[in-house]
A and B are shown apart, each in its own frame.
Chain A
Amino acid sequence: NFMLTQPHSVSESPGKTVTISCTRSSGSIASNYVQWYQQRPGSAPTTVIYEDNQRPSGVPDRFSGSIDSSSNSASLTISGLKTEDEADYYCQSYDSSNQMVFGGGTKLTVL
């Protein structure tokens, strides 16, 4: 099986842009769709990106997703940071047995 590795934490100022990476340890990142979930403290996760780069309705276009085969990683980019974006973010994909795999999560601090 493979692992999805995320930075433990990132921080940025309001109004700026931040990118969170999610690197797949083996196999191609393009083999299976990548999703991104936002989890605010004390709340259940919600989806901010699905199928690599699709936004569910209601998610602002400040959130975008991409994959990069050269680095075998997916990225979540949040532009125009707001304090309300402060949360934990998890990437998730599938393995060859169609089993879900989560990244370890990244704590975003907006200071």
Chain B
Amino acid sequence: QVQLQESGPGLVKPSETLSLTCTVSGGSISSYYWSWIRQPPGKGLEWIGYIYYSGSTNYNPSLKSRVTISVDTSKNQFSLKLSSVTAADTAVYYCARVTGYCSSTSCLGGYMDVWGKGTTVTVSS
């Protein structure tokens, strides 16, 4: 079955760029939307954004100025870049597959059916 694995540095300095990659195994990245979600310590889930395998994206307005999500279909991977990080960006970052009520132009009501285990990113000098 499809599995997702997040990878990237666990420690990022303030003002630098956080970079994470999600590798999709056991299935193709094509024909789906893929999402990033984060969870600060002791807090709830926050949606960061999603990307279609063709490259179209939709971002959380509160993070949009700092976020870039990209996809590499040849490697079956998608990635997250979050710039100018602060301690408030310290969180567990999850990647997930979005399925269900989605079209080729946007996801209207899909849900995350496969999640990665999550990776902890700490922002600290």
Binding site for B on A (CB under 8 A): 1, 32-33, 35, 37, 39, 44-47, 50-51, 56, 88, 90, 92-94, 97-105
Contacts and interface: CB of A to CB of B under 8 A. Distances in A.
B1 to A, nearest CB: 11
Interface residues of B, number: 24
Interface in B28-74: 35, 44-47, 50, 58-61
Contact of B47 (A39, A44, A99, A105): A99
Interface string B111-122: 111011110000
Given A33-B100, A33-B109, A51-B101, 10 more contacts: A37-B112, A44-B116, A50-B100, A88-B44, A94-B107, A94-B108, A98-B106, A100-B50, A104-B44, A105-B45
Interface of B: 35, 44-47, 50, 58-61, 94, 100-101, 106-109, 111-113, 115-118
Contacts of A50: 100, 111, 113
